[in-house]
Amino acid sequence: MTVELISVGTELLLGNIVNTNAAYLAEQCAGMGLSCFYQTVVGDNEERLAQTLKTALERSDIVILSGGLGPTQDDLTKETAAGVLGKKLRMDGHSKKRLQEYFAKRKMEITDNNWKQAMVPEDAIVIDNENGTAPGIIMEEGGKRVILLPGPPGELIPMFEGAVYPYLAGVEPGVIYSQTVKLCGIGESKAETVAADLISGQENPTIAPYAKTGEVHFRITAKASAEKEAKKLIKPVVKELKNRFGMNVYTTNEKVTLEQAVVDLLLANRLTVTTAESCTGGLLSARLTSVPGVSEVFKSGQVTYSNKAKHKLLGVKKPSLDKYGAVSENVAKEMAKGAAAASRADVAVAITGIAGPDGGSSEKPVGLVYIACNVRGKTKVKSWHFSGNRTKVRENSVVAALTLMRQCILEYYSEVTFR
Q: Interface with its own copies includes 309 (CB under 8 A)? A: yes
Using CB under 8 A, pick the residue from 89, 169, 286, 410 that binds its own copies: 286
Q: Site for its own copies (CB under 8 A): which residue of 132, 135, 338, 353? A: 132
Cα separation, 190 vs 365, whole angstroms: 25
The interface mask with its own copies, positions 198-237, x = CB under 8 A, is -xx-------xxxx-x-----x-x----------------
Is residue 93 packed enough to be buried (19+ CB in 10 Å), middle (13-18) or exposed (0-12)? exposed
Cβ at position 83, least distance to its own copies in Å: 19
Residue range at the interface with its own copies (CB under 8 A); choices 34-42, 81-89, 119-127, 239-247: 34-42
Residue 127, CA distances (Å) to 65, 258, 417 in order? 14, 30, 49
What is the C-alpha to C-alpha distance for residues 43 and 8, in angstroms, rounded to an integer?
5
Tell me the closest approach of the beta carbon of residue 289 to its own copies, in angstroms. Answer: 3
Q: Which one-letter DSSP state was computed for residue 111?
A: P
Integer Cα distance of 356 and 402 in angstroms = 21
Question: What part of residues 387-416 is at the interface with its own copies (CB under 8 A)?
Answer: 387-392, 394-395
The residue (of 140 and 286) whose beta carbon lies closer to its own copies is 286
Q: Binding of its own copies at residue 253 (CB under 8 A)? A: no
Q: Whose Cβ is closer to its own copies: residue 58's or residue 415's?
A: 58
**Is the CB of 134 or the CB of 332 nearer to its own copies?**
134
Would you count residue 246 as binding its own copies (CB under 8 A)? no
- Is residue 283 near its own copies by the rule CB under 8 A? yes
SS3 380: strand
- Residue 97 touches its own copies, criterion: CB under 8 A: no
Selected binder of its own copies within 88, 94, 108, 128 (CB under 8 A): 108
**Pairing status of strand 136-141 against strand 125-127:** antiparallel
Kindly identify the residues of this chain, within the stretch 53-82, that bind its own copies according to CB under 8 A: 55, 70-74
Q: Minimum distance from CB of 279 to its own copies (Å)? A: 8
Check whether the bond before 158 is cis (ω within 30° of 0): no
Tell me phi and psi for residue 302, to 5 degrees: -120, 140
Q: Which is nearer to its own copies, 24 or 167 (CB)?
A: 24
Nearest to 174 by CA among 246, 241, 142, 222: 222
Q: What are the beta bridge partners of residue 371?
A: 351, 382
CB of 124 to its own copies, least distance (A): 23
Question: Near its own copies by CB under 8 A, which window of 45-53, 83-91, 227-235, 261-269?
Answer: 45-53
Q: Report the site for its own copies in 316-355 (rule: CB under 8 A).
A: none
Shortest spacing between CB 227 and its own copies, in angstroms: 17
Q: Return the biggest CA–CA distance within the chain.
A: 76
Q: Which of 48, 231, 364, 380 binds its own copies (CB under 8 A)?
A: 48
For residue 282, the SS3 value is: coil
Contact with its own copies (CB under 8 A) among 165, 167, 305, 324: 305
Helix (H, G, I), strand (E, B) or coil at 129: coil
Quick one: how far is CA 86 from the chain centroid? 37
**Chain centroid to CA 32: how far?**
18
> Is 261 or 283 the residue whose CB approaches its own copies more closely?
283
Count residues contacting its own copies (CB under 8 A)?
114
Residue 161: name the closest of 188, 189, 131 by CA: 131
